[in-house]
């Protein structure tokens, strides 16, 4: 089972050096929020439209995260409904181990504002949250 996280490329580079990713969501850290926000493949476009509509994406990357690897490293993944949503989202309670990131994918925005999503083919990313 794999999930996604939009990360500033600079924070991902730091994570590679330190062994764990500690970002959470736009301009917030794991320490500030308490968990790392993540999404499924179908949720990511809505997250981008809602939280990153006014932001260039040139300095962002999409992390493909293996849930069992996070769980076994002590950074448990819980499916929760945020206060501003009606659907389950994955939250990672602890730093994302670099070993749990199976792919780092580019993402960009065209001049007309449309987002160019990376291909997730063959990466076994969940499309939807698991059934409760």
Has residue 22 been placed in a domain?
yes
Convert the pLDDT of each residue in 107-124 to its tens digit.
Answer: 998 888 888 999 999 999
- 77 vs 131, residue with greater confidence: 77
Number of helices (H), then strands (E), belonging to the chain: the values are 4, 12
- For the chain, the domain total comes to 1
In a domain, 124, yes or no: no
Looking at the chain, the whole-number percentage of residues with pLDDT higher than 70 is 99
pLDDT at 49 exceeding the cut of 90: no
Strands annotated E in 9-74: 20-21, 23-25, 28-29, 36-37, 60-66
> Could you report the per-residue pLDDT of 17-38, keeping only the tens digit for each?
999 999 998 889 999 999 999 9
Let me know if residue 123 belongs to a domain: no
Residue 30 lies inside a defined structural domain of this protein: yes
């Amino acid at each position: 089972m794999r999930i996604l996280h939009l990360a500033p490329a600079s924070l991902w580079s730091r994570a590679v050096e330190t062994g764990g990713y500690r970002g959470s969501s736009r301009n917030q850290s794991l320490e500030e929020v308490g968990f790392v926000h993540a999404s499924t493949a179908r949720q990511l476009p809505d997250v981008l439209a809602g939280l990153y509509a006014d932001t260039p994406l040139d300095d962002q990357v999409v992390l493909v995260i293996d849930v069992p690897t996070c769980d076994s490293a002590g950074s448990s993944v819980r499916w929760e409904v945020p206060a501003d949503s009606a659907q389950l989202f994955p939250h990672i309670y602890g730093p994302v181990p670099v070993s749990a990131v199976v792919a780092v994918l580019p993402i960009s925005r065209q001049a007309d504002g449309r987002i160019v999503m990376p291909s997730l083919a063959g990466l076994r990313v969940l499309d939807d949250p698991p059934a409760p």
